[in-house]
Amino acid sequence: MRLTVIGCSGSVPGPDSPASCYLLEAEDPADPAGRTWRVVLDLGSGASGPLQRHLPGGDLTALDGVLLSHLHADHCLDACSLYVAIKYGPAAHRGEPRAPMPLWAPAGAAGRLARAYDLPDDGPGMTEQYAFGTWADRVPVQVGPFTVEPVLVEHPVEAYGLRVTGPAEAGGGATAVLAYTGDTDDCPGLDHLAEGVDLLLVEASFTDDLPFERGIHLSGARAGDVAARAGARAVLATHLTPWADPDAVLAEVRSRFDGPADLARPGATHHL
């Protein structure tokens, strides 16, 4: 598996990064031709622009699926841009048939996205472009070579961390495991989500000394605690707000977790 950071700014797009979006790619070991599968973990505000740099021909419809952790705008809103690309893009103009793209999300995603694009209440919404699936806590789904287990986490809306198992870059039938927390405060679900993973993509929105309301986000210190407690092999801290000090957040993570830890950076690719 390869993870490319498309957007990693927390809560709002930042001056150097769109909001949350991570491209996950892997070759299908069951396909003799080595077909590459591509899914995104979240598709937040502004992400569809830079995402095009990392897809064949810059074509957003080259994706095989969209996996949304929750339905806040900074994690889902550019699914509207992808809808436009599917409905009106070059392949549509050529009349090429395609099945609706799988989109997995918490309950209510079809209505949420239709309202965001102001589609008529009595129409199909985006159901002709997306095959909507609804997460159920700890019930895995399969998208190509990726097994995705959603884990309910703590946020003001229904939200899931995503534990993804797929082919390891080493090949030979080996697998790798990535855990993406989405947005959450520390909660029991994180221990299962992050247990023994090869890479923990963990939100760390700010430093622990800032005043904040509990039950919404992790600080750098609490993110490090999660990683250490779960025995993660490596950490990538993400979802930093534009007003956070990234060096201070990373220092907090490293103060609680003694394994490899770094910040998510737009355009960087990580091999698992």
Could you give the angle at the alpha carbon of 112 between the alpha carbons of 108 and 117, nearest 5°? 155
Tell me what pLDDT residue 58 has.
96
Look at residue 93 and tell me whether its pLDDT is greater than 80. Answer: no
Tell me what pLDDT residue 210 has.
81
pLDDT average, residue stretch 13-29: 96
Tell me what pLDDT residue 240 has.
95
Look at residue 230 and tell me whether its pLDDT is greater than 90. Answer: yes
Longest CA–CA separation in the chain, Å: 56
Alpha helices per DSSP H over the chain? 48-51, 73-76, 79-88, 90-93, 109-116, 188-194, 220-230, 246-256
What are the residue boundaries of the structural domains of the chain, listed by start? 2-271
Tell me what pLDDT residue 182 has.
98
Rounded mean pLDDT of the chain?
A: 96
pLDDT band at 26 (very low <50, low <70, confident <90, very high): very high
Look at residue 171 and tell me whether its pLDDT is greater than 80. Answer: no
pLDDT average, residue stretch 107-122: 96
Tell me what pLDDT residue 173 has.
86
* Bridge partners, residue 164, by sequence: 148, 178
Task: Record the tokens describing residue 95, joined without a space.
Answer: 């009349």
Cβ–Cβ under 8 Å, residues 197 and 178 = yes
Long-range CB contacts (within 8 A, 24+) of 247-251: 248/207, 248/220, 249/204, 249/206, 249/207, 249/219, 249/220, 250/220, 251/220
pLDDT tens-place string over residues 41-62: 999 999 999 999 999 999 999 9
Tell me what pLDDT residue 90 has.
81
Quick one: DSSP state of residue 9? Answer: B
Homologous superfamily assigned to 2-271:
Ribonuclease Z/Hydroxyacylglutathione hydrolase-like (3.60.15.10)
pLDDT band at 2 (very low <50, low <70, confident <90, very high): very high
